Structure 1
Amino acid sequence: MVDVENTGPGPWWSRRWVVVAAVLLSAIPLIYPQIPPLVDLFGHMGRYRVQLDIGNSPWLRDYYGFHWAAIGNLGVDLLVMPLGRLIGLEPAVKLIVLLIPPMTAAGFLWVTHEVHGRIPPTAFFAIPFVYGHPFLFGFVNFALSMALAFLAFALWLRLGRLGRTRLRGWLFVPISLVIFFCHTYGWGALGLLCFSAEAVRQHDRGIGWLKAGWYAALNASVMALPLLVMLAWRSETHGGNTIDWFNWSAKWRWVEMALRDRWKSWDLASVAICGIVLLLALISSLLGLFRRIGQRAKLTFSRNLAFSALVLAAVYVLLPRIIFGSAYADMRLVPYAIAVALLAIRFRAPAPRLGTVLAVLGLGFAILRIGSTTASLAIASDEQESRFPALDHLPMGARVVTLVGDPCGGYWPLPRDSHLGAMVVVRKQGFSNDQWVMEGLNLLDLRYGTAGHFAADPSQRVRREGCAVGPLWSINQALALVPRQDFDYLWLINPPPFDETLTEGMKPVWRGPRSILYRLH
């Protein structure tokens, strides 16, 4: 038995033109910015410049090394190679990143169509989660892998519904490899989604849950080949801890921050709105269980996607915050788990008025969230573009130490300038102190070791006096210890108040909005 109830022509909100419009709507926030102002993206772009030009740049060869390896974190890195040479690095990055939200939205809507037989009116509440916290933080390989995972999951559901399980098995061997090399997380999420959906499909055929789970695992095992690649990958690396399990306060914060962007009240209210929608569907579903007059609940849940949402929620609870040195491992799952729960809501016809109300509210919510994200990214892009003229004052190959003001705790807007210094690498093939040097997690090596503490991330992040914690220094401490003989320039971006005597002997060569560039010698 397939978990599809609705057949025949659908209402207006499930028409093709509405679905296409919703998918295209999700691309709007990234059209205006020349470079998508995502927190970590600038740092990744520095790595892309190295991989593209290290062979013909004497400066990059002095500062960095680069080696290709079969790791589960290569999505945008691989796409940039042909596109970057064809249209240039910055346009290539914009094009790739621009495609991720509509691909994710298309995956969401295709999944819900396969499960429900048509698009339920509540599905539009899930669209804003394509701009969830992980995407806006710039986890682009991860976000690309999740977009592909949802598209692949929809294909898995379709082939299962059509009884083409043998074809599905053959197709998902290469599909799983592609998504794994894009990012390990997307491959893992795809496996969980497919396993949970297949377990429900097997159970609907009259098989007990235990045997259904066994058959589901067998069917999903066609995606197990990347395990061998991952074992070889991890056996060759030694760095990176897996720590911070069951941090309940952090896990609750990640739920609150599922749509974190710029305006805290609106971001929190948006998550709460989706929570209310889920609660109303749950109440309606529970009330329907106790009705004795033959009237069914107008809102209930697909067993298929509801089970998938529960599986994702359970994995979220079990995941630590840091896996193999990669932070925010659990946080990344939250927006997608909420989206799957929203996609699981089933609307039972006939109730055209209620359906229209829900569709209008869902589309209205999506339009408002996309609108606020568009405004937020436009503001961030304008602020960053106002600082890029500093790069015009740098020679090729310049060694630049960047210090970016990092807010103290409780600050809500995303710190979008944290890796802005990497534009020194992107446009000047120079050295910037904000690259990640983490064994087994990316392909970049550091050769300019004389920079000491100021060789890599997070040395670029500084805080005001009295607020520095852990690896983050105060701005005065950093200014006092910058090895001037090992750098050519100092670039301050959004600096907190500092002791100006610490910049004596430095020559200001450019000033901009909350930014200043000094020549050191």
Structure 2
Amino acid sequence: MSLPVAGERPLASLKQVAAARAGAPALLGLLALVAALPLAAVEIPPFFDYLNHLSRAHVIAELDTSPTFRDWFEPATFLIPNVGADLALLALQTFTDTLTAGRLLLLAIAWGTLGGAVALGRAASGRMSPWPAFVALVLFNEMLHWGFLNYALGLALLLWGLAAWLVLAPRSRRAQIAAGCVFALLIFFSHLVAFGLFVIAVAAIELEAVLAERRRRGGALLPLLRARFSAALIAAAPLALFAIGSPSNGLPPAPAFNVSPFEKLAPFTRLLSSGNPVLDAAVLLGTAAFLAVLLAFRRIRLDRRLGFAATALFLAQMAMPYSAMHSFFVDNRVATATVLVLLSGLATRKGAPSNTERLGWSALALLLALRSAALVQGWSAAEAELREARAAFEALPRGSLLIGATPTPFEYGTGWFATRSRNPPHEHTASLATIEREAVVPAIFAKPRQNPLVFEPPTAMIKRMSLGPIPRLRSGRDFAALSQRLRAARAEMDAAGYAAQPILVFASDLACADWPPGYGFRPLACGSFFSIAAFRPNGSFVPIPRSEG
């Protein structure tokens, strides 16, 4: 019997490794199906801004055929960042309804992100392994639960763009730069922050290449950097479009910083925030501990290039503002990108036991099953509330002006593992009536220089109301303030020929019995978590109280 040569694996072990590698695509496909189960279980995922995105795309698609929408909205240019989701939804709506289009887009984002991470991992290590597939656990992350569709689409494209950058690096610099330019444009039109992160990640990868070359050959650093400067070309076209042709460049930068340790670090611990903080924490900490042990015992490694990229993204988050250019949670968004790139860079260390990857696939399958089961349960409960609201909307007059309101304060970052205590939040639930009853909802995101649709109502008061958060109805003073605004809007609408268009208020977390008399509100529909009231001024002006009333 011959013995294996020192340093070589026995033939049986090599066959096991080959079989495991051959079965990896099938395992990945199965895990992709498990990850998508929550989208199959519900018609409307409970994402914060999600319905607002859908309602805007619905209005754009119906603008030519709906007199109501034409009276209240105007089309705007698509030559702005942050329109990728709008374009995708418009394309999908040519053959399906708006809600189905939304789920198809979410599925494309989820599978595109998972596929991009695996492709990036393979480009970095030269083979497929389970470690980049751990991205499946964070597909429905905190940023997606906020409903940031354009940003999530941009991150999926970012991973594919980095994969192309690494694959083409040893083949053709020209092809690498050309592919980088194409992906930079696609990411720019998806989301401006995602575009900036793509440029930062590419710059970090190029810096690592320069340092690696200097270690091998020596020499001065500056000439090596100059030789890599052509990578900056990927940012040229998007920046030129933004500076010359995009109205978004007129938005005031107005950066606002929040440098508290909680605000900077909690986006990492809230990565899975889904409304179930206990299980979110268990899956997140369990995954982190499992991968940390494998790294400590040298079973897996982190690709140096992607390690540089992830570090650069982390440092960018520490330096970025909380808000800028009328966009919020700017720095918080970067945590998701950092983790996606970090996971994509993990690979099995050469010489690790063959059962290491089998252990990885098994751990991923278990954690993903727990995660998907929890999301299915949570999303199904949330959809029961939305189903109740949809039933109430069916009774509303078509083309109504529907104002969203609530007594509930806006929630953000309630803890290290939870974004909010209410799932779903109903800040934008009224937007469902736009899709199903052709209602006009002022809170829709349709702002000049920011969106491809602009809200231009025939009343100055409603225009002003659309620029701020939805009314908070906590006291008599709040009800009186809303009544006064709607009185002005009613008078303006009557004068402009819209006397027949009713004004309604959808108030989440407000019962029918909570509407005080004397302000012109009459409850029309009552639900377990909401009420809908008609505003019908009785001719007598109700002054705003100076104190709680």
Pair 80,357 (structure 1): closer, same or farther in 2 beyond 3 Å = closer
Task: Confirm or deny: 8 A CA contact 2:76 2:451 kept in the other structure.
Answer: no
Distance in 1 between the 2:508 and 2:44 partners? 18
1:251 to 259, 264, 274: 264
Distance in 2 between the 1:502 and 1:435 partners? 29
Distance in 2 between the 1:440 and 1:223 partners? 21
- Does 1:462 pair with 2:472? yes
Pair 447,362 (structure 1): closer, same or farther in 2 beyond 3 Å = same
1:192 to 197, 200, 207: 200
Secondary structure at 2:250 match in 1: coil
1:144 to 144, 153, 160: 153
Residue 464 of structure 1, CA deviation? 4.4
Query: Which region of structure 1 is more displaced relative to structure 2, 125-134 or 189-198?
Result: 189-198
List aligned pairs for 1:359-378, cutoff 5 A: 359-378=361-380
Q: 2:486 corresponds to which letter in structure 1? A: P
**1:18-58 Cα shifts (integer Å, max 9, x gaps):** 12222333322112222333210111222212212223322
Secondary structure at 1:393 match in 2: coil
TM-score (norm 1): 0.86
2:99 to 77, 81, 90: 90
Distance in 1 between the 2:467 and 2:23 partners? 47
- Does 1:483 pair with 2:486? yes
Residue 354 of structure 1, CA deviation? 3.7
- Does 1:222 pair with 2:234? yes
Distance in 2 between the 1:269 and 1:314 partners? 27
Unaligned runs of 5+ in 2: 1-13, 415-419, 491-501, 537-549
Secondary structure at 1:11 match in 2: helix
Secondary structure at 1:35 match in 2: coil
Residue 193 of structure 1, CA deviation? 2.5
Distance in 2 between the 1:333 and 1:119 partners? 26
Bigger Rg over Cα: 2
Task: Confirm or deny: 8 A CA contact 1:84 1:90 kept in the other structure.
Answer: no
Distance in 1 between the 2:518 and 2:271 partners? 40
Residue 399 of structure 1, CA deviation? 1.0
Distance in 1 between the 2:534 and 2:255 partners? 41
Pair 328,358 (structure 1): closer, same or farther in 2 beyond 3 Å = same
Distance in 1 between the 2:434 and 2:189 partners? 25
Secondary structure at 1:384 match in 2: helix
Partner of 1:292: none
Q: 2:108 corresponds to which letter in structure 1? A: L
Distance in 1 between the 2:23 and 2:196 partners? 30
List aligned pairs for 1:413-428, cutoff 5 A: 413-428=422-437
Partner of 2:117: 108
Task: Confirm or deny: 8 A CA contact 1:36 1:97 kept in the other structure.
Answer: no
Task: Confirm or deny: 8 A CA contact 1:245 1:319 kept in the other structure.
Answer: no
List aligned pairs for 1:234-383, cutoff 5 A: 237-239=250-252, 241-281=254-294, 283-284=296-297, 297-348=298-349, 349-383=351-385
Distance in 2 between the 1:321 and 1:194 partners? 23
Task: Confirm or deny: 8 A CA contact 1:116 1:346 kept in the other structure.
Answer: yes
Distance in 2 between the 1:158 and 1:255 partners? 29
Q: 1:219 corresponds to which letter in structure 2? A: A
Task: Confirm or deny: 8 A CA contact 2:515 2:523 kept in the other structure.
Answer: no
Secondary structure at 1:260 match in 2: coil
Secondary structure at 2:93 match in 1: helix
1:500 to 515, 523, 542: 515
Distance in 2 between the 1:496 and 1:160 partners? 61
Distance in 1 between the 2:360 and 2:181 partners? 39
Residue 115 of structure 1, CA deviation? 1.2
Distance in 1 between the 2:107 and 2:88 partners? 13
**1:411-430 Cα shifts (integer Å, max 9, x gaps):** 43454321111122222222
- Does 1:231 pair with 2:243? yes
Distance in 2 between the 1:309 and 1:29 partners? 29
Task: Confirm or deny: 8 A CA contact 1:319 1:330 kept in the other structure.
Answer: yes
Task: Confirm or deny: 8 A CA contact 2:390 2:433 kept in the other structure.
Answer: no
Pair 320,300 (structure 1): closer, same or farther in 2 beyond 3 Å = same
Query: Which region of structure 1 is more displaced relative to structure 2, 68-77 or 165-174?
Result: 165-174
2:131 to 105, 122, 138: 122
Q: 1:224 corresponds to which letter in structure 2? A: A
Secondary structure at 2:324 match in 1: coil
Task: Confirm or deny: 8 A CA contact 2:63 2:69 kept in the other structure.
Answer: yes
Pair 82,360 (structure 1): closer, same or farther in 2 beyond 3 Å = closer
**1:274-329 Cα shifts (integer Å, max 9, x gaps):** 43245435544xxxxxxxxxxxx323322121111111111111111112110011
Distance in 2 between the 1:381 and 1:188 partners? 35
Secondary structure at 2:402 match in 1: strand
Distance in 1 between the 2:474 and 2:266 partners? 24
Q: 2:400 corresponds to which letter in structure 1? A: A
TM-score (norm 2): 0.82
Task: Confirm or deny: 8 A CA contact 2:113 2:159 kept in the other structure.
Answer: yes
Pair 517,167 (structure 1): closer, same or farther in 2 beyond 3 Å = same
Task: Confirm or deny: 8 A CA contact 2:80 2:248 kept in the other structure.
Answer: no
Identity of aligned residues (%): 19
- Does 1:518 pair with 2:533? yes
Distance in 2 between the 1:58 and 1:85 partners? 20
Query: Which region of structure 1 is more displaced relative to structure 2, 35-44 or 327-336?
Result: 35-44
Residue 435 of structure 1, CA deviation? 1.8
Task: Confirm or deny: 8 A CA contact 2:131 2:343 kept in the other structure.
Answer: yes
**1:373-399 Cα shifts (integer Å, max 9, x gaps):** 222222222221121112212222111
Distance in 2 between the 1:334 and 1:197 partners? 18
List aligned pairs for 1:369-408, cutoff 5 A: 369-407=371-409
**1:146-166 Cα shifts (integer Å, max 9, x gaps):** 1112122212222224x1332
Distance in 1 between the 2:40 and 2:465 partners? 34
Q: 1:339 corresponds to which letter in structure 2? A: L
Residue 104 of structure 1, CA deviation? 0.4
Task: Confirm or deny: 8 A CA contact 1:302 1:344 kept in the other structure.
Answer: yes
Secondary structure at 1:442 match in 2: coil
Distance in 1 between the 2:435 and 2:533 partners? 20
Q: 2:333 corresponds to which letter in structure 1? A: R
Task: Confirm or deny: 8 A CA contact 1:400 1:488 kept in the other structure.
Answer: yes
